[in-house]
Amino acid sequence: PISCISWRGEHLVTGDSSGGLSLFDWKRKVCWTVNLRGAAIADLHLNRSNSTVLVVFASGAVCIYDVSVKRQVNESTLLSVRNLRV
């Protein structure tokens, strides 16, 4: 099931409880799905230029996914999800 959704401009991104990330590009009329981790996705944030997505997992880990090249750029662990201010 979908656990979070984020939309900005022509991009819509959904995250699910199994770590799947679905991205929809309305301008190009394409969509794709990637499996980032086995953990549930707790929150998603698209940046203003629509090229990267900040993914926050329920475990406290975060990763940055680059929409333009369709790959994960960076991954890190937070001490607490409450410390994240976006």
Q: In sequence order, which residues have a C-beta less than 8 Å from that of residue 2 and are 6 or more positions away?
A: 14, 15, 16
Q: What is the pLDDT of residues 20-64, one digit of tens each?
A: 999 998 888 999 999 887 789 999 998 877 678 889 988 888 888
| Mode of pairing for the β-strands spanning 61-66 and 52-57 | antiparallel
The model's pTM is 0.76
Strands (DSSP E) contained in the chain are 2-8, 11-16, 20-25, 30-35, 41-46, 52-57, 61-66, 71-77
- Of 21, 44, 45, whose CA–CA distance to 34 is shortest? 21
